[in-house]
């Protein structure tokens, strides 16, 4: 071989014998074997050798890419292609314009690009997220469309007739780019389709037809040397990103390369010119310019390839790097040259090769030897937004039938007996036996134990029974206890069942009754005999306990609300059939997929619950049914094919489908399933182990294979590897939940232990290892090695039946993917997991685009992705201790890796992706030593914790009700039902992520000097500790002694219960939230505790009397006695007397609407008056919105109008019920208020005032818009009767009837940010310091119960240019709205002396706000220090100016829009 390309292209496998079939050969890990695997495994060397004339062929799939991995600690020689393509001449360009529908312009530019590619740019002045190009290529105008192999990302094949490529939306236009590399395509034709609107854009009713520019005609009588075509083909492959091609695509690429070179010749280039261009010297290596056909020797390359393959095979088929491949190729050449030097002819060499007679020095040691080892991959830089999944889930509310569940005849019998005995039921159990039932009912009438056994068998049944004093014991019953007709046997008795004569039963019931005096016996074992067959309980004896069951009584699963009840009922109905075998269960599940789709998300939740109950062995796997493994495999195939299609066509259910697939084995083609049966025979025969445990296992496999067989096979392998230590065998079994009892419970029980000879060791390890692959192919789709093999392809090795099981590799995988998977498998057991995690995540990222496309092997790709996901979780659990001595930077990096893994597995992952971007920013800030990094990272951590909580709550909501209902119907153990959702969460990345953030939290708090507490209301108190889950649950409670509430959940809108002196919580309500303000106003100590250990200590003090002494950043506490407390401060144990508050009832003053100039205390509340007062008095740079109001008395006037007579009467009746203590009518009152009709005079007055004040009148946009405004006004009036406000007024004995509600009307400023200012720091009481909180969007997320924290800052009044950030935002949601009107509550009960009524009543926008998940990583307020300083300083200045205007501390609300500050309301700070 010449130096020209021998050192560069041979190991890229460009040379392939044309006559050889392409074959992907893989090692035991399923990774493609290397360069000299060119010879087909389906052809013998003899067949190869008989081909004396071999041409060469280009194979894209055969190329091994240059690795993108960085080798740590090893300097690798550089091997790079040294050929480059010459620069193309000036390109030709064509442009066409089309006018569509009169106002839409379509422009198409087509130009030639380097390499004879035609680039087509298409732009249309039409913007849509669902715009598609429906297109194809034209070779001959009369031909059908051809589908080019080179397609833009996102392109799908439409029925093999066209391609559909999505446009990219850019402002008011949409754009896409095509690259056509097939010289035979002369034009493209297309239509444009808006999928969302089902609208087609055509060219006057025809296809758009665009000719492509000419690309030089090749000269037909000139040929190009094949070696140059090969080099050009390689360069094209490299230029396109080293894609994996199908054989057809390889041929097309090879011919396209030839055409390109012919075009060069047509433009005047000579063959020598091309050779110089393609093989020119580089700076890195001197290359002699010689032809590929000039060889070092006379040995043909095809013989060298065959000899290299033989060497590789003898070495044990190791995974060679490209460098090793090249070495091996040259070694093979040297061996053949040695034969040639002996005088052996080429023909004789060819014959000797076929007989394996060429001497070779290769040995098995090469299998273990690695010249180079990649220690770490180089991860690609990706836009994290590409991870985003946003799919709307179909919400299906199933109507629950109120008809009672129809009872079976046995359940009717049991009910009758319970009513007849009227005594305590000690035990009740219903056994399902295929289509029959057996009831056991134990009652306790008058000091006796009464046992009923009943069945709906039609054939006569005999009970073979005994008594026992402990479980497992058979004692013959005393003759005096025997029912009539019984026969006493040795250690047992037999009694014929009686026939029930009850006319109330729809069919015959056979029953047995026994009464036992006292408590001398513990239970009754029994079996049934019918038709000459023994009937057992899943292979074991039935056993009746006489004492109450130790297992907790099953909870009532309710009526199936919140579930796909009809589907779950169908599953329960089919369970007796499903438990026959896996084949039955999987086929039934497949039959139910359509019903699950109809039920939506809850339908797939039901399937998941059922499959997981199966996978965790809560359901019977096999019941006396002999089924062939190929039948199980076929049923699995059917089910997983349907799940694959659901995943492809219903992206909103992908997360649930992944979880279902993880509980179901992969299945396999029929031959793979059948080999479970066949290969065990080969193992027995090859290794002379036909008896004992192996024969029992064979019989079990023959009858019904299950996932247990994977564990049994692994246990046998571990046993043999351990030098036949039987304890190792049992350890492997027990760790996977397989006990001796379980082995005995199989229909074909395994009684014996394995017992092999030492001389069997090598053969058993070899054959059991191959057998494990077959078992995993069927049962363990998510197993990593099995999943890799199924995607990359493998061929089973061995003898006899084991030859020929073949899985083909999936085409179209990224070119670097095989080596990436090899890296993962090489490092999967590494103790240092960082490199492994990077490899796993890189593999998942590379795989992700494939999961979004249509692929007939999609399920194999899914199982691989599930396996990679699972391996991340197990790796992070294994490496958790590795972080013990790590700094925060490494912990943050691990968090980002695990969070990325969770985002890759989650639907609707927007919040997860933004958290991931936040961690990236935090890592960058940490590396750059930004002094704010820990404070910023703490906000990202808090948000991540909120996301995990939200994800857990959504799982609980979707899955737990289904688990409870279906589990109850199927008789699943209650403990398995109770922990169902918890175990689902623990099985994913979320649990590992939670551990990591809990580890990082105290580190960040310490670094950012945050301490363990945030004190919101610093009041020294003493009280008795009471622990509650939610403050909301006790907000209306009254404690009769001073109480310190430790509440696990505080959202922000709750009231503080009477008698409470302190609220301590791990939750993080905003400092300016309603509950925070209420705590400060009521002189209640309120603080957030970040340290779970401190919180745990406080909870452990429940019932004890503690004194709390808060500072601005800490809470000191200690136990005191009542005597000590009373002597030091007698008032501490007495609650402060509630303030006496009186209201003056306001009267209607004759006008329904007034302008800001008319705002007086008789007409409106302080909210309206304050905003009117600010107008014209604050600096001009502070904006004040225009306002009008519906004054006091307007509601009462509308209610008294004759239009609303019926509503008034209903309201009066409801208020009477409320006065009598029926608080349940509050919601009904609010609904009744919404039925009020607007008097015409009110409509006209409101319209006139709004228009004269310069505000938009909603009615100008149509009657429906006014109705929206009117509804909002009524909601404000109705909020007088919301629960929080009503109970608050009751506490201070305020006359609720005297409460009047004005409505302040303002135009909404579509805010970038909203803020609340307290001009005296509420936490410290420092009047020299302003405290403020800022959120993205509207202020409702700040004052309402929205999770997360706002950005908080303080600013000294003496230095308003230097705000100090106390905390960055963690609120995941922002509220945004179109241009609209807001109607604000403004009651006469707000801001009264001694009573804080502000915030109790509702403000309602006319339009619904849009909830947007916030990306803080691109928000200038977070990432731009100068912008942040400017905005926060402006907010502080506005607060200071308003405080100076009023001369007292103020509580101010406002917004920022385009950098301008607007104030929407102010009130005295309390």
Catalytic residues: 1074
Phi then psi dihedrals of residue 325, to 5 deg: -60, -45
Beta bridge partners of 1331: 1318, 1354
The pair phi, psi for residue 433, each rounded to 5°, is -120, 90
What does the alpha-carbon distance between residue 323 and residue 1059 come to, in Å, rounded to a whole number? 79
CA-to-CA dists, residue 663 to 779, 863, 971, angstroms: 10, 11, 20
CB 1063 within 8 A of CB 988: no
| Dihedral over alpha carbons 145, 148, 152, 157 (to 10 degrees) | 60
- Helix H or strand E segment including 771: helix 761-779
Strands 187-194 and 208-211: antiparallel
Residue carrying structure tokens 């946009």: 1261
Question: With contact defined as beta carbons under 8 Å apart, do 525 and 543 qualify?
Answer: yes
Tallying the residues shown for the chain, one arrives at 1470
For the record, the structure tokens of 833 come out as: 């997991």
Q: Are 336 and 51 in contact (CB under 8 A)?
A: no
Dist CA 939 CA 974 (whole Å): 39
C-alpha distances (whole Å) from 40 to each of 25, 246, 1158 are 9, 16, 95
The separation between the first and the last C-alpha atoms of the chain, rounded to the nearest angstrom, is 91
516's tokens: 């036992």
**Do 410 and 437 contact (CB within 8 A), yes or no?**
yes
Per-residue CA distances from 959 to 554, 605, 606, 616, 911 (Å): 18, 6, 8, 16, 21
Tokens of 62: 């055969």
Give 921-982 as a DSSP string: HHHHHHHTT-TTHHHHHHHHHHHHHHHHHHHHHHHIIIIIHHHHHHHHHHT--HHHHHTHHH
State the Cα–Cα distance between residues 345 and 308, nearest whole angstrom.
19
Rounded Cα distance, 1109 and 603, in Å: 53
Tokens of 470: 């402990």
| Distance, CA of 1137 to CA of 622 (rounded, Å) | 71
The answer to whether 12 touches 81, Cβ cutoff 8 Å, is yes
Instruction: State the Cα angle at 1356 between 1353 and 1357, rounded to 5°.
Output: 125
Q: Which two tokens stand for residue 782?
A: 């998510």
Integer Cα distance of 793 and 791 in angstroms:
6
Report the alpha-carbon distance of residue 1410 to residue 224 in Å, rounded: 64
Q: Sort strands 1329-1336 and 1351-1356 into parallel, antiparallel or unpaired.
A: antiparallel
Contact residues for 1204 (Cβ-Cβ < 8 A; gap 6+): 1198, 1236, 1237
Residue 1054, Ramachandran bin (φ over 0: left; ψ between -120 and 50: alpha; else beta)? beta
Cα 242 to Cα 63: distance, rounded to the nearest angstrom? 8
DSSP helix/strand/coil, 447: coil
Q: Which residues pair with 1465 in a beta bridge?
A: 1453
């Amino acid at each position: 071989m010449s130096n020209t390309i021998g050192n560069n292209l041979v190991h890229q496998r460009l040379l392939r014998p044309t006559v050889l079939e392409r074959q992907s050969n893989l090692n035991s890990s399923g990774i493609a074997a290397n360069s000299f695997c060119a010879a087909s495994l389906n052809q013998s060397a003899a067949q190869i050798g008989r081909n004396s004339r071999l041409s060469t062929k280009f194979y894209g799939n055969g190329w091994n890419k240059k690795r993108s991995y960085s080798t740590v600690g090893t300097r690798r020689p550089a091997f790079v292609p040294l050929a480059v393509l010459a620069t193309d001449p000036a390109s030709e360009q064509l442009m066409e314009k089309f006018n569509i529908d009169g106002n839409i312009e379509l422009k198409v530019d087509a130009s030639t690009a380097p390499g004879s590619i035609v680039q087509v740019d298409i732009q249309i002045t039409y913007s849509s997220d669902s715009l598609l190009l429906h297109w194809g290529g034209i070779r001959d105008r009369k031909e059908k469309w051809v589908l080019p192999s080179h397609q833009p990302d996102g392109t799908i094949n439409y029925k093999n007739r066209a391609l559909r490529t999505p446009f990219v939306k850019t402002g008011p236009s949409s754009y896409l780019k095509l690259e056509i590399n097939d010289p035979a395509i002369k034009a493209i034709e297309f239509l444009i389709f808006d999928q969302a609107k089902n609208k087609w854009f055509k060219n006057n009713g025809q296809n758009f037809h665009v000719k492509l520019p000419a690309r030089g005609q090749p000269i037909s009588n000139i040929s190009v040397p094949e070696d140059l075509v090969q080099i050009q083909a390689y360069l094209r492959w490299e230029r396109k990103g080293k894609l994996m091609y199908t054989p057809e695509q390889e041929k097309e690429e090879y011919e396209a390369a030839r055409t390109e070179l012919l075009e060069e010749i047509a433009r005047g280039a000579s063959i020598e010119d091309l050779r110089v261009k393609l093989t020119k010297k580089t700076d890195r290596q001197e290359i002699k310019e010689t032809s590929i056909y000039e060889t070092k020797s006379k040995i043909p390359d095809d013989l060298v390839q065959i000899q290299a393959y033989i060497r590789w095979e003898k070495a044990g088929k190791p995974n060679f790097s490209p460098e090793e491949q090249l070495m091996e190729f040259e070694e093979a050449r040297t061996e053949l040259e040695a034969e040639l030097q002996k005088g052996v002819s080429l023909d004789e060499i060819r014959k000797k090769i076929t007989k394996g007679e060429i001497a070779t020095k290769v040995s098995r040691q090469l299998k273990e030897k690695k010249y180079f080892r990649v220690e770490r991959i180089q991860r690609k830089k990706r836009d994290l937004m590409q991870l985003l999944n946003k799919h709307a889930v179909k919400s299906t509310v199933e109507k629950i039938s109120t008809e009672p569940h129809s009872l079976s005849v046995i359940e009717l019998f049991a009910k009758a007996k319970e009513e007849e005995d009227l005594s305590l039921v000690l035990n009740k159990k219903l056994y399902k036996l295929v289509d029959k039932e057996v009831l056991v009912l134990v009652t306790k009438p008058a000091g006796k134990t009464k046992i009923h056994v009943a069945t709906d068998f039609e054939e006569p049944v005999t009970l073979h029974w005994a008594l026992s004093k402990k479980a497992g014991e058979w004692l013959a019953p005393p003759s005096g206890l025997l029912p009539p007709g019984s026969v006493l046997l040795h250690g047992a008795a037999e009694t014929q069942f009686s026939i029930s004569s009850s006319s109330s039963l729809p069919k015959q019931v056979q029953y047995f009754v026994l009464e036992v005096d006292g408590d001398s016996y513990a239970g009754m074992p029994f079996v049934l005999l019918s038709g000459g067959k023994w009937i057992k309980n899943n292979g074991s004896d039935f056993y009746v306990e006489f004492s109450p069951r130790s297992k907790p009584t099953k909870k009532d699963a309710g009526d199936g609300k919140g579930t796909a009840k009809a589907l779950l009922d169908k599953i329960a109905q089919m369970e007796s059939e499903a438990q026959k075998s896996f084949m039955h269960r999987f086929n039934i599940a497949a039959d139910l997929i359509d019903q699950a789709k109809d039920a939506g998300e809850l339908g797939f939740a039901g399937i998941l619950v059922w499959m997981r109950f199966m996978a965790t062995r809560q359901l019977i796997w096999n019941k006396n049914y002999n089924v062939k493994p190929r039948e199980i495999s076929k049923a699995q195939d059917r089910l997983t094919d349907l799940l694959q299609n659901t995943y492809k066509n219903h992206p909103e259910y992908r997360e649930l489908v992944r979880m279902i697939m993880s509980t179901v084995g992969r299945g396999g083609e029929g031959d793979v399933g059948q080999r479970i049966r066949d290969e065990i025979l080969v193992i027995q025969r090859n290794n002379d182990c036909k008896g004992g445990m192996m024969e029992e296992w064979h019989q079990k496999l023959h009858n019904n294979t299950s996932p247990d067989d994977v564990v049994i096979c692994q246990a046998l392998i571990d046993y043999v590897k351990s030098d036949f230590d039987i304890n190792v065998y049992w350890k492997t079994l027990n760790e996977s939940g397989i006990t001796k009892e379980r082995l005995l419970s199989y229909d074909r029980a395994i009684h014996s232990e394995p017992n092999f000879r030492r001389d069997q060791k090598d053969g058993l390890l070899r054959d059991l290892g191959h057998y494990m692959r077959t078992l995993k192919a069927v049962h363990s789709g998510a197993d990593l090695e099995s999943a890799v093999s199924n995607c990359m392809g493998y061929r089973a090795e061995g003898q006899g039946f084991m030859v020929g099981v073949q899985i083909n590799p999936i085409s179209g995988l990224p070119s670097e993917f095989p080596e990436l998977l090899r890296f993962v498998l090489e490092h999967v057991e590494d103790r240092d997991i960082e490199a492994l995690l990077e490899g796993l995540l890189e593999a998942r990222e590379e795989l992700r685009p494939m999961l979004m496309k249509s692929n007939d092997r999609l399920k194999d790709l899914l199982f691989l992705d599930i396996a990679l996901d699972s391996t991340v979780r197990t790796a992070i659990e294994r490496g958790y201790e590795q972080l013990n001595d790590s700094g925060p930077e490494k912990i943050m990096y691990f968090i980002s890796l695990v969070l990325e893994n969770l985002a890759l597995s989650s639907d609707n992952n927007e919040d997860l992706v933004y958290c991931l971007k936040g961690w990236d920013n935090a890592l960058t800030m940490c590396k750059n030593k930004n002094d704010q990094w820990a404070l910023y990272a703490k906000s990202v951590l808090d948000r991540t914790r909120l996301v995990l909580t939200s994800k857990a709550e959504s799982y609980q909501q979707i899955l737990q009700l289904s688990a409870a209902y279906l589990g109850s119907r199927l008789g699943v153990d209650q403990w398995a039902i109770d922990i169902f959702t918890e175990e689902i969460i623990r099985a994913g990345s979320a649990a590992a992520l939670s551990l990591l953030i809990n580890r990082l939290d105290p580190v960040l708090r310490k670094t950012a000097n945050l301490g363990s507490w945030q004190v919101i209301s610093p009041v020294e108190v003493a009280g008795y500790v009471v622990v509650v889950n939610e403050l909301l649950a006790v907000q209306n409670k009254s404690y009769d002694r001073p109480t310190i509430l430790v509440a696990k959940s505080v959202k922000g809108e709750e009231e503080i219960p009477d008698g409470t002196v302190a609220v301590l919580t791990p939750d993080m309500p905003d400092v300016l939230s309603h509950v925070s303000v209420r705590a400060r106003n009521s002189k209640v100590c309120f603080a957030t505790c970040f340290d779970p250990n401190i919180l745990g200590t406080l909870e452990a003090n429940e019932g004890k009397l503690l004194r709390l002494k808060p500072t601005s950043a800490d809470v000191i506490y200690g136990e005191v006695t009542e005597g000590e407390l009373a002597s030091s401060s007698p008032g501490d144990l007495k609650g402060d007397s509630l303030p006496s508050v009186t209201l003056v009832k306001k009267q209607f003053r004759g006008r329904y609407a007034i302008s800001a100039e008319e705002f007086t205390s008789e007409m409106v509340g302080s909210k309206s008056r304050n905003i009117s007062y600010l107008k014209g008095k604050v600096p001009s740079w502070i904006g004040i919105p225009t306002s009008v109001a519906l004054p006091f008395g307007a509601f009462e006037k509308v209610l008294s109008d004759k239009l609303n007579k019926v509503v008034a009467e209903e309201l009066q009746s409801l208020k009477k019920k409320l006065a009598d203590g029926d608080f349940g009518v509050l919601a009904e009152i609010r609904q009744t208020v919404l039925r009020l009709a607007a008097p015409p005079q009110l409509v006209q007055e409101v319209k006139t005032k709004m228009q004269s004040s310069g505000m938009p009148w909603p009615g100008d946009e149509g009657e429906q818009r006014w109705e929206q405004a009117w509804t909002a006004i009524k909601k404000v009036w109705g909020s007088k009767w919301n629960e929080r406000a009503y109970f608050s007024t009751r506490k201070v004995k305020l006359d609720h009837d005297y409460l009047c509600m004005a409505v302040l009307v303002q135009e909404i400023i579509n805010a970038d940010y909203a803020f609340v200012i307290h001009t005296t720091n509420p936490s410290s009481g420092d009047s020299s310091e302003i405290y403020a909180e800022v959120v993205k969007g509207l202020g409702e997320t700040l004052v309402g119960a929205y999770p997360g924290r706002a950005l908080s800052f303080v600013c000294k009044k003496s230095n308003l240019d230097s705000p100090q950030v106390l905390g960055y935002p963690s609120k995941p949601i922002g509220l945004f709205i179109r241009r609209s009107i807001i109607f604000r509550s403004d009651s006469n009960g707000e801001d009264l002396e001694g009573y804080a009524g502000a915030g109790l009543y509702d403000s309602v926008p006319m339009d619904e706000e849009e909830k947007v998940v916030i990306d803080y990583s691109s928000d200038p307020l977070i990432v731009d220090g100068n912008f942040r300083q400017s905005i926060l300083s402006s907010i502080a200045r506005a607060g200071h100016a308003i405080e100076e205007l009023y001369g007292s501390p103020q509580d101010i609300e406002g917004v920022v829009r385009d950098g301008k500050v607007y104030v929407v309301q102010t009130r005295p700070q309390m």
